[in-house]
Structure 1
Amino acid sequence: MATAAVTSVNSLEVGESIPPSTVHAVSVSLPTWKANVGYEEGEEWVLSKMKTGYPRFFVHKSIQAFQASIVSKHGHHGEETMLFPSHAIAVRCVEFFKRQAPEMDPTQLRILDLVPNSPQARQEEFDIISPKVSAVFFPQNTFPIAKSFWQHTGDGISSRRAEYCHGLFQNGVLVDTNVASSKDSSLVIKGPRRYRRATSVELNGGANGSASCVAETSDPTHQFVEERFGRNLDISMTKNVKCAVRRRIAGSLTANVDLQDALALENDTERTRKVAGFSEDDVYLYSCGMNAIYNTYRYMSSRKPGLKSIVYGFPYIDTLKIAEKFGCGCQFYGFGSSEELDDLEQRLKNGERFMSLFTEFPGNPLLKSPDLERIRALADKYDFCVVVDETVGNFLNVNVLPYADVAVSSLTKVFSGDSNVMGGSAILNPKGRCYSSLKKIWEDDYVDHHWAEDTIFLERNSRDFVSRIDRINANAEAICDVLREHPRVKQVNYPKYSPTRPFYDKCRNPGGGYGGLLSATFYSKQDAVAFFDNLDTVKGPSLGTNFTLSSPYVILAHYNELDWCASYGVEADLVRVSVGLEDTSKLVNIFCHALEAIPQ
């Protein structure tokens, strides 16, 4: 596979990127239970070693460097900044500040828009990639508010955009929009070669051949990994690449194909998504999965302003935070049970109304599947939209679109697999009762901010998406069998063995499996720690990687609300495993060894 080799956990240190030596990796090594707790507690022995982190929780170092340069040149004393790809998003960040801290003096918030003072020699390149950045300045002591907006919405710039734009900024090409009117054609600055040639990721000199045009965040090893395991198309192919990615998400590609074959398919080719009239034109790309969820929530709010939303089933943390912080509140059903649907139905009969229902299929980390058929019937009867996050199930295993108005997904996960790029998607159901109104909202407001080079990585990584799924499904079932047979394992959570399996099977495609994500609980914390610390997989945040990736998920995602999690049956000592493509017998031996380490 394309991913850089991942070695034994014993040789992958705290804070190393996963995969190793990958500048834009989306996971980071936290190889022991103690390291995970230390990260959450902010202990220096962990934080000082962090080369990277999950991109919505850890501000990538290339972004940090770019922010520091902007503050140095344009900031005032005591200010910090957060960077976004457009002025409109920066405005939404300012509005979020005002809602979260109404006591703030609004003059303490300001926006700086940076745009290319385009030399003619680079106009074609700039037209393709649109290297614009909007900086929101705020007082340093209000950083947690900015970080909250950045994390929940996924609206921040990507590390690759930061790397590229920082180089422009340092060379005077990316400037305040108020001084960008002069078109100085004498500014002939060549961009990074990876934007101009199909196989190179070398750093190119600046205008005088001495200054790098890219922020100095990469070493030669990182450059090699990005070249060998990432990009292989010229930036001029961006439009075609985005089309190919959208066609894969649409389900029109049912075999491994390269870019040319993907583009040769007709728009109405038979798809795995069995919805009449569905088109790749109903697929929208986003910077990450949470950004797809956030913008979908925003559009739902504009369709039916003033109404609460519903979050059904124990959700990924930021989905619930969006519903709580960005709208009119949320009716939360954390168990995802039939009794909670009974309660919802009674509320609806009593006249209560909602704008939308958000759910995951299956949920994370308990892998329960919602009753989408019943939810769809309630939505049609009482006029609310249904948004289904299909990230964990993935559309090759399940087809949730007939029950959803919008299906959202994190392309960062199994669609990419290589753990080196972020992406997300939202797709509209043309047979959904809300389709006409939603389509108009999307067409009027949607802007594709997925950075061109990120899309190039995503397209390349996803070429073998189809063939990877069967292997991952089979490996996950083998690991479940090992865990389920061990007397010290209390519970294994997996869609195949869940009491909600009938709901999963209603949506399962012919030949589809039960996915690559599972979790397990133990009879004591001591047992969980012993198992985890002796589990010879890489360990860190994220899921859907081509290699098996494990984490004490509840500790990482909900450290400050463990009692709240427990009230919904989500135990603090749960271990989550995202199963990869390794040899099945090797994986079985790894898990057996970890189980043998549990004290008898």
Structure 2
Amino acid sequence: MAPKSQSTRMSRKAVSVSLPTWRSNIGYEEGEEWVIGKMQCGYPRFFVHPSIQKLAQEIVRRVGDPESETATLFATLKTARICESFIVSKVSAEEAQKVRIVTFVPSSQAGEGATAVTSSLFAVVYNKEYASIAKQVWQHSGNGISSRRGEFCLRALEDGFLVEEKKSAASESLSQRPCKGPRRYQGKGSISGISRGSSASTPTSTDSPSAANGAEDGRDYAQFIEERFGRNLSTALAAQAKVAVRRRIAGVLTADVELPEALETTSAEGRVSGISEEDVYLYPSGMSAIFNSHQTLLAARGPLKSICFGFPYTDTLKILQKWGPGCLFYGHGSSEDLDDLESRLKNGERFLGLFTEAPGNPLLKTPDLVRIRGLADKYGFAVVVDETISNFLNINVLPHADIVVSSLTKIFSGDSNVMGGSGVLNPQAPFYKLLKDTLNREFEDLYWAEDAVFLERNSRDFISRIDKINATSEEITAMLKASPLVKDVYYPKYSPTRPLYDSLRSPNGGYGGLFSVTFHSTEGSIAFYDTLEVLKGPSLGTNFTLSVGLEEVSDLRGRFQRALDAVEKVAK
């Protein structure tokens, strides 16, 4: 088991879980009941948070049949329609008629005042037997609501400040009329559900059984908000937090600073010439950034096949396969793969965009972005690079990309208690104007106010944390590399693609906090895994060691040495 000092850091908002043994990890991956059945929470895209489950149950109790139906929840009509259309495409025409979107909006009593926080809610309601289909959308798109938004909406629903909107043109579902494409639901007067001084939409009618709990008994919305958040969340604070986060990601903010200074101080240059925080878009998760980048390219360029280059995070490949006309998959991400791609391009094949990771996981190989950029420029496809593993302080991939995506859930946040993602446009790239114009029409701010505040606070010391993690990781990987018990260490520093990685390194950049290690036998691998006294879970990039964290080097060396000693015992 993990040391108590680590396990007590976890909270009910934790975005990972600990799987302390080899057997429990396999049980988790294979969906065995003895593991899955005991989990109270998990990574939010794979395990729907209990507070969101409770909200979905309450919604179905009000608008559906709790015995046979369930719901998946989204913050906007557009994201709900993506889920609805996916379910409808997988079921019979008769069953498709039963899939529907139910809209909940702030009541007329909610959202009054310049600092009021509100949220609409869109529930895709369907038969329980199709839950596994809806779960694909939740997992792959990353667009689902966060647990903090879920808790807010549940309380607002119970107190009568969030009410069902009866049928209107805006809330018709795909099963009742054809959808001609995404439509922006969120008005210009809101920031991810935060009212800017005007009253929220008034529902046409409501039969909410609990409407009298708050709104009709004289309890005002200001009191509701104070009870939920205290006095520390407002339109201004959430908007400022998002600006500060976007400035850090753009690279125009180059020091560990508090929020007031982050709003005042910027450097002259960011990651590329001409970039600003206006080129950074925030999403509720890293997967949402990838999903919506693909959606943006489809909207901008039409239905072209994509390229998945290198062995990707599984959901990236699923997105490219399940939405749009499919993809060409190069699992090795090698120079030979680029030769094949170039041959196809010379023969007239055309593609939407190439999606890749720099470096990839678990082998930590770096793609040849210079050659990829050259092919993209010559043959007219976009380049989307996921930089999550290394992060932009260590390498700068933006000059070679049209869009750079990242999971902010990982080391950018570090505290393992909030999800987030970003997409960054390169203002020097060929498709910049087309993508910017498309995002001006299509982008929806899905990022919940409270999550933004947590992410901004967590990321204030991002720079100093990265420096320590880089240094510690180099020491630990060198220790493992020197051990005859270890078969291979996969780390950008030791990869055959290190020259490609080094060509992307920032002046003070390191090799990141993630590495993989293999042993000469399965028994040795099991002994190492089971003995290593760190948290082990389906995530990475925390301040404590899932990938390398902020512990003292001597402490981690001791833990790794004890694990190596266990390997030695089984090898004898």
2:68 maps to 78
**1:188 equivalent in alignment to 2:220:** yes
TM-score of the pair, normalised by structure 1: 0.84
Partner Cα distance (1:156, 1:48) in 2: 23
Deviation of 1:236 after TM superposition, in Å, equals: 4.3
Taking the TM superposition and a 5 Å limit, the aligned residue runs for 1:477-516 are 477-516=474-513
The match for 1:471 among 465, 468, 473 is 468
Deviation per CA, 1:166-225: give whole Å up to 9, x if none: 0011122211112824796745253254755356xxxxxxxxxxxxxxxxxxxxxxxxxx
Which moved further from structure 2: 168-177 or 45-54? 45-54
Q: Pairwise mapping of residues 170-185 of structure 1 onto structure 2 (< 5 A)?
A: 170-178=158-166, 180-181=203-204
AA in 2 matched with 1:583: E
Partner of 1:237: 237
1-structure distance, mates of 2:231, 2:7: 25
Is it true that 1:368 corresponds to 2:356 in the alignment? no
Check the 8 A contact 2:164/2:205 in 1, yes or no.
no
Shift in alpha-carbon separation, 1:352–1:128, aligned structure 2, 3 A: farther
Of 282, 285, 295 in structure 2, the residue corresponding to residue 285 of structure 1 is 282
What amino acid is the match of 2:61?
S
For 1:332 and 1:429, how far apart are their aligned partners in 2?
25
Which residue is 1:150 aligned to? Answer: 138
SS state of the match for residue 137, structure 1?
strand
Residues 547 and 582, structure 1, Cα contact 8 Å, conserved in 2? yes
| SS at 1:123 equivalent | coil
Correspondence 1:31 to 2:20:
yes
What amino acid is aligned across from residue 250 of structure 1 in structure 2?
Answer: A
Alignment equivalent of 2:37, drawn from 33, 48, 71: 48
Per the alignment, residue 380 of structure 1 pairs with: 377
* 1:333 alignment partner, one of 324, 330, 335: 330
Check conservation: 2:72, 2:134, Cα contact below 8 A. Answer: yes
Instruction: Determine if contact 1:195/1:235 at 8 Å carries over to the other structure.
Output: no
Tell me, yes or no, if the aligned pair for 1:128 and 1:236 is still in contact at 8 Å.
Answer: no
SS at match of 1:354: coil
Q: Contact 2:401–2:429 at 8 Å: present in 1 too?
A: yes
1:441 paired with 2:441, answer no
Match for 1:174: what amino acid?
L
**Following the alignment from structure 1 to structure 2, what is the Cα–Cα distance between the partners of residues 476 and 19?**
24
Contact preservation (8 Å) 2:74, 2:80: yes
Q: Write the distance in 2 (CA, Å) between the matches of 1:194 and 1:399.
A: 43
2:268 is aligned with 1:270: yes
1:517 alignment partner, SS class: coil
Amino acid at match of 2:203: A
Distance 1:102 1:326, change over 3 A: farther
- CA 1:298–1:594 in 2, change beyond 3 Å: closer, same or farther? same
Q: 1:251 aligned to 2:251? A: yes
- Tell me how far 1:128 sits from its aligned partner: 4.9
Paired residues, number: 523
Secondary structure of 2:419's match? Answer: coil
1:167 to 141, 144, 155: 155
Partners of 1:104 and 1:325 in 2: how far apart?
A: 23
Q: By how many angstroms is 1:539 displaced?
A: 1.2
Assess, with a 3 A threshold, how the Cα gap between structure 1 residues 19 and 138 changes in structure 2: closer, same or farther.
farther
CA distance in 1, matches of 2:31, 2:329: 30
Letter in 1 for 2:347: N
Q: Deviation per CA, 1:357-415: give whole Å up to 9, x if none.
A: 00001001110000000000000000000000011111111111000000000000010
Asked if the contact 1:246/1:284 (under 8 Å) is kept, the reply is yes
Q: Distance in 1 between matches of 2:116 and 2:94?
A: 39
Deviations 1:139-172 (A, max 9, x none): 1111110000110000110000001110011122
Does structure 1 retain, via aligned residues, the 8 Å contact 2:250–2:280?
yes
What is the RMSD of the two structures over their aligned residues, measured on CA atoms? Answer: 1.9
**What is the deviation of 1:10?**
5.0
Q: Which residue of 1 aligns with 2:2?
A: 9
Q: What secondary structure is seen at the aligned counterpart in 2 of 1:368?
A: coil
Compared CA separation, residues 339 and 393, structure 1 to 2 (3 A): same
- 1:90 corresponds to: 80
Q: Distance in 1 between matches of 2:396 and 2:416?
A: 25
CA distance in 2, matches of 1:196, 1:39: 35
Q: How far apart are the structure 1 equivalents of 2:249 and 2:471?
A: 22
The counterpart of 2:527, out of the listed 521, 527, 530, is 530
CA-to-aligned-CA distance 1:298-336 (integer Å, 9 cap, x gap): 111122223110010110010000000001011000101
The question of 1:595 aligning with 2:569 is answered no
- Give the distance between the partners of 1:103 and 1:521, measured in 2 at CA: 50
Deviation at 1:11, TM superposition (A): 4.4
Q: Tell me, yes or no, if the aligned pair for 2:152 and 2:228 is still in contact at 8 Å.
A: no
Query: Take 1:521 and 1:448, find their aligned partners in 2: how far apart are those partners?
Result: 42
Letter in 1 for 2:268: E
Contact 2:404–2:424 under 8 Å retained in 1: yes
For the residue of structure 2 that corresponds to 1:108, the secondary structure is coil
Using a 3 Å threshold, how does the CA distance of structure 1 residues 10 and 243 change in structure 2: closer, same or farther?
A: closer
Asked if 2 retains the 8 angstrom alpha-carbon contact of 1:488 and 1:522, the reply is yes
Q: Per-residue deviation at 1:46? A: 2.1
Q: Judge which range, 473-482 or 30-39, deviates more.
A: 30-39
Q: How does 1:293-372 map to 2 (within 5 A)?
A: 293-372=290-369
Deviation of the 1:104 alpha carbon:
5.4
8 Å Cα contact 2:369-2:400 kept in structure 1: yes
Q: Residue 401 of structure 1 corresponds to which residue in structure 2? A: 398
The residue aligned with 1:227 is none
Contact 2:252 2:276 in 1 (8 A): no
1:40 positional shift: 3.0
**Aligned counterpart, 1:215:** none
Matches of 2:9 and 2:507, distance apart in 1: 37
Q: Is the CA contact (8 Å cut-off) linking 2:165 and 2:205 kept in structure 1?
A: no
Change (3 A) 1:592 1:234: farther
170, 191, 197: which one aligns with 2:230: 197
- Residues 1:104 and 1:345: Cα distance change in structure 2 (over 3 Å): farther
> Are 1:18 and 1:25, in contact at CA under 8 Å, matched by a contact in 2?
no
Give the aligned partner of residue 583 of structure 1.
552
Asked if residue 131 in structure 1 is aligned to residue 119 in structure 2, the reply is yes
- The answer to whether the Cα contact below 8 Å between 1:19 and 1:27 also exists between their aligned partners in 2 is no
Is the contact made by 2:107 and 2:163 (CA closer than 8 Å) also made in structure 1? Answer: yes
- Structure 1 SS opposite 2:321: helix
**Identical amino acids, percent of aligned pairs:** 53
Cα offset for 1:488?
2.3
| Counterpart contact for 2:75–2:144, Cα < 8 Å | yes
Residue aligning to 2:540: 543
Which 4+ runs in 1 deviate beyond 6 A? 182-185
CA contact (8 A) 2:80 2:101 kept: yes
Hey, what's the Cα distance between the residues in 2 that align with 1:19 and 1:327? Answer: 44
**8 A contact 2:20–2:536 mirrored in 1:** yes
Rate the CA distance shift 1:546–1:280 in 2: closer, same or farther, 3 A: same
User: How far did residue 50 of structure 1 move?
Assistant: 1.4
**Residues 549-572 of structure 1: per-residue CA shift (max 9 Å, x gap):** 1xxxxxxxxxxxxxxxxxxxxxxx
Question: C-alpha distance in 2, partners of 1:188/1:308?
Answer: 52
One-letter amino acid of the structure 2 residue matched with residue 67 of structure 1: A
Distance in 1 (alpha carbons) for counterparts of 2:226 and 2:12: 17
SS in 1 for 2:518: strand
- 1:552 corresponds to which residue? none
Deviations 1:515-552 (A, max 9, x none): 11100112221111110000000111111101111xxx
* Per-residue CA distance 1:63-112 (angstroms, 9 max, x = gap): 01111111111112511110001111111111111333355532120000
- AA aligned opposite 1:590: R
